[in-house]
Structure 1
């Protein structure tokens, strides 16, 4: 069947190429529709209780994001200010607040300027007034806004609910413009951070990382192909179909409304890395057949037919590995699964259909220029590389058990690494050190105890009931009493408003109603819900402490002593991140298991030989195991981006063992007395080129700015090289052990 299909592809190659050109034009339009997404809720199932509570915060309480603005004296140059208490600095801060309050999405702002207006009725005119007011305040009130060295202060802007990349970008740029338009004194630096600042920085990095990583991946792959094929033109033959595949993938993402997020931003470099493998195998087999003296069209048909069998199996196993991602309950991994399967399918189709057309066209052009066909000589089939695979084949043929023993010892080392693996999904941890927004956030946590917030939702028939208000106050005091453990420095609720007014919580419900009505308390319109707002340093802790703090809030809410019928539960951005962390851990094992099972089923169905299947499957498991072990040893945590990495490596890693096994069986059928050596000489260079270009494509992700993208690139590259090494050692060694007697019998 493949022989017949190969003839059709070669005969109608021009028609197929025109169809590909049409799809390419449509895809270029689709790329212009691509959107970028940083909203955490879009990475979680919408029916999750934590997501519903998060949306309740936004809808019922207009609880949105916050903009934290650091105002800092960062130098001591002459004619500038040296202290944040300078009246000129306070006037500038007040002007900034006035500008911020004009925006419809800003619900409130607070800063040290507000304190002076409340006490004096105006802004201070000199330093003596500033010091007088600050001396009248409790120390904790001053510490909440001014650093101990009087060089840093904080402006907090509370924002209404807003989502989507465009909203984040507009809000950040509006605030940045307000900051720039205020004439702050010399020596003062103003930096925007908080959830909006960090989300904006991630969006910008997603956009730049997508373009940069794809460009570097293409350049790296092109350089390797030029080296192996000894010609820029010949290197372009498998590369052009790859460009088609990548552009079509991104274009279809735009047309289908699939956004680029923290997970899918790697897709460009991944398709470059994976897709080139198929074109390389077709091209290598074509040049191999041409070197043997086969005619052009016959060589193209042979390349499609023979490599097509292995490519079909490789593509199916890779798709099987990626399809496991679609079983995840995380929408981001479901999207990644669909995109990778689509991209991989397009890469295979373009490699099989477009590559032969280009190869034949190239040969025809060379004939017109030189007057005769030129049998191409490529580095993959000669010199050092050919000699290396010949010697490797001999070594494995003669010492298969020794090779397997060495591999076993290596595996023991990486088994220890498995015990050191952790997870990390907090957005701010995805940004590298040194970025202004992250450094400013560190200042907030160090100088002001942190501005991270967890909201505790209290639901009842009427939360103004004195018994409920009293229990809310007691709940707050219990949390504050544990501040040494939970990093909490402040809580706010309707109970605090009542206590501030009366000095106690009255039994008279009407009195409570009156004071809540007069205030801007966080309470729903029907009085069925209210919030306990808890502030502290939660996001800046290490992953273990972060989980412990969030678990603490869960336990406190679960065991809270409230009247019957009252529900209390944590919510908010950070709690949502904690939920995502737990789901990532859960999904990691499930996806990896399903991915491995799917790949094994495909291999068994394709080859229907237990021993052959073992020789192909074992390297993929070893590649995945070594990769996860490396992650533990290198301190790379599993994130939402890396949750499906094992399934991906399993899907990709089996390809190399499949190509070697397929060629081994082909040589064995033809009566070759040294099938192991011939298999390694025949497909070894193609696997090497494919692994180097695939791994190189993934390593291009190191050029990105986001830490999560770096980790993804390193991990997948290690997985590819580990799978290649396992395929070059374990697969031929096992085949030699399994079929050694038969081969020796045929030699006699």
Structure 2
């Protein structure tokens, strides 16, 4: 306490110096913010050294087939003067022209479209619609309807792309393809949309950038509105906000300087820090005003506010940071980045609250005194009127009937315990884009009309994949998988075995013939340059529900393991890979990480509480709301249908870290009052600290709810879940912590129940 009071005196004496240091750091942070970059590459979300990443990198490096984009060409209206059939020669000519433009791009390795069929059959494009119909009617139905929809209102161009896995490259590729699309004049009534992996990822990048700015702005507005209500003065409302602005800017600046990207998790950092960081400033400000109203002078009030509130703030900050630090134990790099930014941001918020807030308050008092000639005692709405009376009454009720409140909490917990059993996970990239987006609508149309265009790769490793026994095994494996198409959603496949079979009508035992067939093949790469790897590409509809997606991926894993053990020669290894399989691997990792992070986060927080307070009953009163808040939050997710995603994998650890703060503030004030001899410490603690907790929780939840303004569904879910977690932890603290303290210390305190 003496150390904190000494620190308060230093702050008062050197407040101008502290302000200048903060301004200098703000300037450096603004430069760092200009270096921020956005990241949406799925492979960057998985840990280094993971076998799935190694296989994925091999696919990218050797076959350049991990990226693709789909250009959907469809009839979107029936206005007079336009075309009504995708077989119209004008449409086919436009498709062909677009293909030729795309093939000039250095990063495009292959394109496939309906125009290629006419060039192969006729040697030219069709001149009449009758000619176009005749050529398509010659094709087998399965081949025909892989190119055009059954009602002839849609076709597509499949584009294979080779690119570096950098955000800047993705943007350049997408915009280059889009430029070519816009340069080709399609007939009236025809709409052209770029979708697939590149299109969806680009859209997510756009939304990430928009969501960061929008959610931060709305979060600030919500917090300012709440502060204006509670403090009744624009000037006093800005006091706890100023250190927060510095903290958020410094955090974003550090991210830019340290090269930490803004991704699906860290894009939320601005709104989250605004919501969480304001809590610290509010507690210091409220205690300062409380001390000033009791008659203390400026220096005494600052010393008392920092000394008394500072210990609780330090404990709250440490437990929150401990909850976030558990995310470092995750193997997911994305959660490491989120933990780093949150810990840094909250550390700065807590430091600013203790160091800068008192200095700003005193500066404001000096200015207002010069303007008015005297000091006006502040009236904080949360400590007076209806809100103050309500918390006073709550404290009296809990003091009188603590067991009744604990029983009510138990019944509520039973409801949310059922919700815990209903929680699911979702990690597929396309699910992060809001419904109704043209790219998502287009990919849904592709799946409906063409049996799906999801791509899954099987990597075959051997000394020489041209070995006839290996090629024959690949052919059997492919056909076995396609025979189960009703079960696995496979539409087509392509491999070295198909090249050989088309050449000879069978798989020869002569290795030289296989080499000759491969040498004459002109399509996309199916074999590595040293012939140690080959790829089998399966195309189909592997989407649907998450359970269906997992079932299909497990099917492929089982088939690959079976074929490796029974059909392929010894020493040959099969491995699933590609963007789709990375989704599945990420799903498995996310399920494991949720349990690990939550368990370690809880252990870290409990240990810090025990080290700080060293009393079992006191610690239990603090941490029980934390457990309940986390349990209620997971139950809410299950009841509301909110799945765990990569972003939400660490949410329980975050709620645990945040939820203990409210119980800590109440317990600390209770112990302070009890040590001073009060016979009603429960009533005083709830009546005095309760309003501050409400103000802090409302501003924190307001910051989180600002994420609803984002367009990405995963950002919505993150905001709603964290906001609910804050309210759940707050309510648990109000109802459980005072009740437990009354049960534990009621006889020792004595006194009446008024």
Deviations 1:461-510 (A, max 9, x none): 11111111111000001000111111001011111111111111111111
Partner of 2:737: 731
Mapped to 2, the partners of 1:741 and 1:46 lie a distance apart of: 57
Contact 2:222 2:699 in 1 (8 A): yes
Partner of 1:434: 436
Note the C-alpha offset of 1:14.
1.3
SS at match of 1:37: coil
Note the C-alpha offset of 1:747.
10
Contact 1:87 1:130 in 2 (8 A): yes
Contact 1:147 1:447 in 2 (8 A): yes
Q: Does 1:544 align with 2:547?
A: yes
Partner of 1:252: 254
Moved over 3 A (4+): 745-748
Greater Cα shift, 382-391 or 61-70: 61-70
Partner of 1:200: 202
Partner of 1:185: 187
Q: Does 1:637 align with 2:643?
A: yes
Question: CA RMSD of the aligned region, Å?
Answer: 1.1
Contact 2:500 2:507 in 1 (8 A): yes
Contact 2:679 2:751 in 1 (8 A): no
SS at match of 2:261: coil
Deviations 1:261-287 (A, max 9, x none): 011111111100110000000000011
Partner of 1:12: 14
Greater Cα shift, 320-329 or 354-363: 354-363
Note the C-alpha offset of 1:250.
0.2
Mapped to 1, the partners of 2:592 and 2:383 lie a distance apart of: 46
Partner of 2:556: 553
- Correspondences of 1:130-149 after superposition (within 5 Å): 130-149=132-151
Deviations 1:42-92 (A, max 9, x none): 111120000000000010111231110100001111110000000000000
Deviations 1:356-387 (A, max 9, x none): 11111111111111111111111011101110
- Correspondences of 1:384-463 after superposition (within 5 Å): 384-463=386-465
Partner of 2:700: 694
Contact 2:94 2:184 in 1 (8 A): yes
Q: Does 1:676 align with 2:678?
A: no
Partner of 2:671: 665
Mapped to 2, the partners of 1:39 and 1:115 lie a distance apart of: 34
Mapped to 1, the partners of 2:464 and 2:378 lie a distance apart of: 83
Q: Does 1:64 align with 2:70?
A: no
Partner of 1:159: 161
Q: 1:581 to 1:80 in 2, by over 3 A?
A: same
Match of 1:529 among 529, 533, 536: 533
Contact 2:163 2:170 in 1 (8 A): no
Mapped to 1, the partners of 2:331 and 2:124 lie a distance apart of: 55
Mapped to 2, the partners of 1:435 and 1:352 lie a distance apart of: 46
Note the C-alpha offset of 1:317.
0.3
**TM-score, structure 1 as length reference:** 0.99
SS at match of 2:240: helix
Match of 1:281 among 261, 283, 294: 283
Deviations 1:540-559 (A, max 9, x none): 31000101111111111111
Mapped to 2, the partners of 1:485 and 1:114 lie a distance apart of: 31
Mapped to 2, the partners of 1:135 and 1:210 lie a distance apart of: 51
Partner of 1:599: 605
- Correspondences of 1:312-351 after superposition (within 5 Å): 312-351=314-353
Match of 2:623 among 594, 617, 622: 617
- Correspondences of 1:459-498 after superposition (within 5 Å): 459-498=461-500
SS at match of 1:740: helix
**TM-score, structure 2 as length reference:** 0.98
Contact 2:66 2:578 in 1 (8 A): no
Partner of 1:353: 355
Contact 1:317 1:655 in 2 (8 A): yes
SS at match of 1:642: helix
Mapped to 1, the partners of 2:157 and 2:372 lie a distance apart of: 74
Mapped to 2, the partners of 1:441 and 1:352 lie a distance apart of: 52
Match of 1:574 among 567, 577, 580: 580
Note the C-alpha offset of 1:5.
1.6
Contact 2:26 2:249 in 1 (8 A): yes
Mapped to 2, the partners of 1:8 and 1:162 lie a distance apart of: 53
Q: Does 1:652 align with 2:654?
A: no
SS at match of 1:108: strand
Mapped to 2, the partners of 1:376 and 1:506 lie a distance apart of: 92
Contact 2:425 2:645 in 1 (8 A): yes
Deviations 1:281-329 (A, max 9, x none): 0000011111111112221121111100100000000000000001111
Mapped to 1, the partners of 2:235 and 2:409 lie a distance apart of: 39
Mapped to 2, the partners of 1:582 and 1:173 lie a distance apart of: 34
Mapped to 2, the partners of 1:542 and 1:205 lie a distance apart of: 24
Contact 2:629 2:726 in 1 (8 A): yes
Aligned residues: 747
In structure 1, the gaps of 5 or more residues are none
Note the C-alpha offset of 1:745.
6.6
Match of 2:589 among 580, 583, 587: 583
Contact 2:458 2:536 in 1 (8 A): yes
Q: Does 1:626 align with 2:632?
A: yes
Q: Does 1:231 align with 2:226?
A: no
Note the C-alpha offset of 1:422.
0.5
Contact 1:44 1:580 in 2 (8 A): yes
